[in-house]
A and B are shown apart, each in its own frame.
Chain A
Amino acid sequence: QVQLVESGGGVVQSGGSLRLSCAASGFTFSSFGMHWVRQAPGKGLEWVTFIWYDGSNKYYADSVKGRFTISRDNSKNTVYLQMNSLRVEDTAMYYCAKDQGGFWGQGTLVTVSS
């Protein structure tokens, strides 16, 4: 079955960096685009970024453009989210999600302190 496992979250100071990973299994990873979605405490869901199946195109929410970078390694069935210049408002649970089908991981928590 489809499984997505995020890792790499933690506590970081404002202005710092983190790299999230999402290990995928149970489907042909190299055939599907992948998203990152986040949810701030007590708030709704926010789409963050998307990468095509082959990594050739990437899209970002305006709130993270220029600071976050999505990438993937199809040989490792893993998608990454490099987060730089982190702000307090980036504090959230971050989920990776498979395009099509609605499969998500359990999330990894990122806390940015001031």
Chain B
Amino acid sequence: QTVVTQEPSLTVSPGGTVTLTCGSSTGPVTSGHYPYWFQQKPGQAPRILVYDISDKYSWTPARFSGSLLGGKAALTLSGAQPEDEADYYCLLSYSGARPWVFGGGTKLTVL
């Protein structure tokens, strides 16, 4: 059973920089996993921030960026704002009978 791992929780100071990571139990995360990053605030549906490693939508704040780092997918937040406090989920795509696998989520605190 494939497992996607994320840090359970991270804390960043306002204006600071933090990197969230997303690893796969099958080996290095590559472009073939088409990594997604979602942000979810309490009571809201998840909202896509980054797809295909580093592509962003018009609503994605410029302070968020995606990359591959050390065999994992990474989401870097540079210049954290209080409104960035949320849960962040990564999603990796796989071939076969279980095409999507979510990470367990990272609870990001801005403090």
Contacts and interface: CB of A to CB of B under 8 A. Distances in A.
Interface of A: 35, 37, 44-47, 50, 59, 61, 93, 95, 99-107
Given A47-B100, A95-B46, A104-B45, 10 more contacts: A35-B100, A37-B100, A44-B104, A45-B38, A45-B102, A50-B100, A93-B45, A101-B48, A102-B36, A102-B38
Nearest to A60: B97
Interface residues of B, number: 18
Contacts of A100: 34
A59 B97 contact: yes
29 contacts: A35-B99, A35-B100, A37-B100, A44-B102, A44-B103, A44-B104, A44-B105, A45-B89, A45-B91, A45-B102, A45-B105, A47-B100, A47-B102, A50-B99, A50-B100, A59-B97, A59-B98, A61-B98, A99-B99, A101-B48, A101-B51, A102-B36, A102-B51, A103-B48, A104-B45, A104-B46, A105-B45, A106-B45, A107-B45
Nearest to B47: A104
Could you tell me the dominant secondary structure of chain B's interface residues?
A: strand
Interface of B: 34, 36, 38, 45-46, 48, 51, 89, 91, 97-105
Nearest to B49: A102
Nearest to B99: A50
Nearest to A93: B45
Nearest to B104: A44
- Of the candidates B38, B98, B103, the one having the most CB atoms from chain A within 10 angstroms of its own CB is B98
A44 B98 CA distance: 17
B51 A45 contact: no
